[in-house]
Amino acid sequence: MPKYRTEDIRNITFVGHSGSGKTSLTEALLVKSGKIGEAGTIERGTTTTDHDPLEKEYQSSLDSALASLDFEGIHVNIIDTPGFPDFRGPTVTGMAATETTALVINAHNGIELSTRRLMRRAKGRRLCRIIIINKIDQEGVNLTRLIKQIREELGPECLPINLPAENLSTVKDCFFGTDGETDIFSLAEAHEAIIDQVIEVNEELMEKYLEGEELSRDELHDAFEQALREGHVVPICFTSAMTGAGLGELLRFFKRLLPNPTEGNAPPIMKGMGKEAKQVEIKPDPDGHVVAHVFKITNDPFVGKMSIFRIYQGTVGPDSQLFIGDERKPFKVGHLFTIQGGKHEEIDSGIPGDICAVAKVDDIHYDAILHDSHDEDNFHLKPVNFPQPMYGLAVEPQSRGQEQKLAQSILKLTEEDPCFIVEHNQELNETVIRGLGELHMRVMLQRMSTRYNVEVDTRPPRIAYRETITRAADGHYRHKKQTGGAGQFGEVFLRVRPLARGEGFEFVNKVVGGAIPTSLIPAVEKGIRMVIAEGAIAGYQMQDMEVEVYDGKFHPVDSKEIAFVIAAKHALHDAIKNAGPQILEPIVSVDVTVPDAVMGDVTGNLAGRRARISGTEALGGGQVTITADMPLSALSDYHTELKSMSQGQGSFTMEFSHYDPVPHEVQRQLEADHKPKEEE
């Protein structure tokens, strides 16, 4: 039996801009709680959660990692996530596995681009949010200004729950007390501000308070937790991972005020798919059926595949017989582990709220629900919105005969990161890996090399253009063949109509009175879908259009499936010819981060690449981020050019935004390129 109960667990994900100190803070908290003796450092590559060889090399987290500690009767699970936007995949999956998201802000740099985005994401998922201002020991830090900035930009519900004191060497609680002096502003004022905010969620308490009555700790605790759940308060705390200031107070704050798994917002475990999906009631009851969610997969060179899951209901032990998802693949747990950075430790049971792992179960995949009853079919965690990976590289092994090995290593890596995908283009015999940016791809290629000994050559992949139409038109075709034996006859009348961007393709059957027999409608649809898949003018898949079949003719003897497939294909080509066919290109949203000094050059260069700049934002440390929408095709050699423009200091990430029409010359070129292939 574990030494703690579900009520004693606190699950927290650390998120925030790269360099804000999440990994160092995790390490310092492990030391503070006595879990480890001495703090490792980023510089020496000895921290618990940056355990991967590449993380040591980059001196930065490149994947999420787990650590747990025990402190005055509570058991804290921390998920330390990477700040680089290239590794948003593991960051957002980590957030979805815990009740609380802790946004770590660098006291010196203040709010940075990703701070705002992560805050929105946590809010959108109804996670409890706290802000940790770290690195308060640094020179030139202005905390009064920072708090003001946070409240202006992230909302007035952000309020200090403690304040730095005694020359930033410690912090003083301002929620339960008002004792002492602080380094910035009056403890009494800060106390009043947060109490006022918190008790707004409870009218009764508010009245009591306004009448000057003393509120009990329990009353304050319950109101605080409700306010946290409703996003009505976002407490701010202060720390220095370096000097240790505020660490004990942070752990005590976790203990006294953060929700345990029975108190956070109910986990969004849903039953049914799409619009039909309904949230099911999950009770953090150790005696209930097991419901657990796999939020992370790792492939360790020594232990093999590790599936890491959060238990929401029931108790899991080595003897548990569980099923994987709807396919109900059974497996026996065998050995159950907890994870501490790169190490794992065997345990004898996991209760609701726990984060555990099983090794070497091949069928488990990211996002799977593990369960042990018939009722849990079709259960899934409300899907996480991932950025769609757009940065692509076509890859090929450097030495012949390594194709299989390459495919396997890619598969292993895609299992681990939902924002890293692989596509095979049969037609070109091209394997394309996609991620969120150049750094993401570089790290993945390095993993292939160091973990799996596969070296690859890379080049830019083909762009995924699409085709569509710009106006409605009619089309018609009569297919008739009379050679020897049985003839072929089919006639189709149809209409095409453009749909809004992003609506895809729709097939509508409006044939009445059996002009085409119902049994042959699937043949018509098949012919139409063939044209949609192959494209009509340049060989790219068609989208954002509707095809409505409204009439036709058939012959009782000669009308076979093939006749209608052919008739439908030709009728659709006939309609598209008159519907203003148009080629679309993928537009991506990019964030380009460069030193201030080269901003002018970089924006000028972006404009030359058909970019529409939507904003620029000064970050701390002399950096600026430029946000723009631009065609993916204009980015193929961007990495190299950005590097030379910024003396190697620039970086960028991108994600899919939408499809837009290509300029005329590009359309003409793409159509011309397609002609010879068609004639072959």
Contact footprint for ligand GTP (CB under 6 A) = 16, 18-24, 42, 60-61, 82-84, 134-135, 137-138, 240-242
When the beta carbons of 240 and 603 are compared against ligand GTP, the nearer one is 240
Amino acid present at 165: A
In angstroms, the Cα distances linking 544 to 39, 497, 541, 660 are 56, 9, 10, 12
Alpha carbon distance, N-terminus to C-terminus of the chain: 70
When the beta carbons of 78 and 161 are compared against ligand GTP, the nearer one is 78
- Nearest approach, Cβ of residue 597 and ligand GTP (Å): 23
- Give the residue carrying structure tokens 């629900």: 369
When the beta carbons of 160 and 498 are compared against ligand GTP, the nearer one is 160
- Nearest approach, Cβ of residue 82 and Mg ion (Å): 6
Ramachandran region of residue 212, left (φ > 0), alpha (ψ -120 to 50) or beta?
Answer: left
When the beta carbons of 22 and 440 are compared against Mg ion, the nearer one is 22
When the beta carbons of 84 and 391 are compared against ligand GTP, the nearer one is 84
Instruction: Name, in order, each residue with C-beta under 8 angstroms of 50's C-beta and a sequence gap of 6 or more.
Output: 23, 42, 56, 59, 60, 61, 65
- Nearest approach, Cβ of residue 106 and ligand GTP (Å): 8
Q: Which does 241 bind (CB under 5 to 8 A by kind): Mg ion, ligand GTP, none?
A: ligand GTP
Q: Whats the size of the chain, residue-wise?
A: 680
Q: Which does 157 bind (CB under 5 to 8 A by kind): ligand GTP, Mg ion, none?
A: none
Instruction: Dig out the tokens for 205 from the structure.
Output: 């308490």
Interaction of residue 340 with Mg ion, rule CB under 5 A: no
Window of 19-27, 184-192, 239-247, 525-533 that interacts with Mg ion by CB under 5 A = 19-27
Q: Which does 586 bind (CB under 5 to 8 A by kind): Mg ion, ligand GTP, none?
A: none
Q: Which does 21 bind (CB under 5 to 8 A by kind): Mg ion, ligand GTP, none?
A: ligand GTP
When the beta carbons of 42 and 269 are compared against Mg ion, the nearer one is 42
Instruction: Name, in order, each residue with C-beta under 8 angstroms of 406's C-beta and a sequence gap of 6 or more.
Output: 395, 396, 397, 431, 448, 454, 456
Q: Which does 350 bind (CB under 5 to 8 A by kind): ligand GTP, Mg ion, none?
A: none
- Nearest approach, Cβ of residue 87 and ligand GTP (Å): 8
For every residue of 281-318, DSSP letters joined together read P----TTS--EEEEEEEEEETTTEEEEEEEEEES-B-T
Nearest to 262, CA basis, from 225, 309, 231, 294:
225
Cβ–Cβ under 8 Å, residues 267 and 282: yes
For every residue of 452-479, DSSP letters joined together read H---EEEEPPPP--EEE-SS-EEEEEEE
Q: Which does 19 bind (CB under 5 to 8 A by kind): ligand GTP, Mg ion, none?
A: ligand GTP
- Nearest approach, Cβ of residue 233 and ligand GTP (Å): 24
Cβ–Cβ under 8 Å, residues 553 and 480: no
How far apart CA 128 and CA 151 sit, in angstroms, is 17
Cβ–Cβ under 8 Å, residues 132 and 104: yes
- Nearest approach, Cβ of residue 419 and ligand GTP (Å): 16
Contact pick of 61, 298, 313, 653 for Mg ion (by CB under 5 A)? 61
Quote the Cα angle for 651-657-661, to 5°: 115
When the beta carbons of 201 and 247 are compared against ligand GTP, the nearer one is 247
Q: Which does 515 bind (CB under 5 to 8 A by kind): ligand GTP, Mg ion, none?
A: none
Q: Which does 91 bind (CB under 5 to 8 A by kind): Mg ion, ligand GTP, none?
A: none
Amino acid present at 109: N
DSSP-derived letter for residue 126 is T
When the beta carbons of 42 and 395 are compared against ligand GTP, the nearer one is 42
Helix, strand, coil abundance in the chain, percent, nearest 5: 30, 30, 40
Q: Which does 134 bind (CB under 5 to 8 A by kind): ligand GTP, Mg ion, none?
A: ligand GTP
When the beta carbons of 23 and 162 are compared against Mg ion, the nearer one is 23
Interaction of residue 409 with Mg ion, rule CB under 5 A: no
- Nearest approach, Cβ of residue 46 and ligand GTP (Å): 11
Q: Which does 101 bind (CB under 5 to 8 A by kind): Mg ion, ligand GTP, none?
A: none
Q: Which does 625 bind (CB under 5 to 8 A by kind): Mg ion, ligand GTP, none?
A: none
Going along 73-122, which residue ranges are E strands?
74-80, 100-106
When the beta carbons of 6 and 593 are compared against ligand GTP, the nearer one is 593
Instruction: Name, in order, each residue with C-beta under 8 angstroms of 598's C-beta and a sequence gap of 6 or more.
Output: 645, 646, 647, 650
Total residues contacting Mg ion by CB under 5 A comes to 3
- Nearest approach, Cβ of residue 282 and ligand GTP (Å): 31
How far apart CA 272 and CA 462 sit, in angstroms, is 37
Nearest to 25, CA basis, from 87, 89, 102:
102
Where b means 16+ CB within 10 Å and e means fewer, 256-292 reads bbbbbbebbeebbbbeeeeeeeeebebebebebebbb
- Nearest approach, Cβ of residue 421 and Mg ion (Å): 24
When the beta carbons of 68 and 559 are compared against Mg ion, the nearer one is 68
Query: What 3-state class would DSSP assign to 387?
Result: coil
Residue nearest to ligand GTP (CB): 83
- Nearest approach, Cβ of residue 387 and ligand GTP (Å): 17
When the beta carbons of 22 and 296 are compared against Mg ion, the nearer one is 22
When the beta carbons of 42 and 128 are compared against ligand GTP, the nearer one is 42
- Nearest approach, Cβ of residue 613 and ligand GTP (Å): 26
- Nearest approach, Cβ of residue 303 and ligand GTP (Å): 24
Interaction of residue 23 with Mg ion, rule CB under 5 A: yes
Give the residues lining the site for Mg ion (CB under 5 A): 22-23, 61
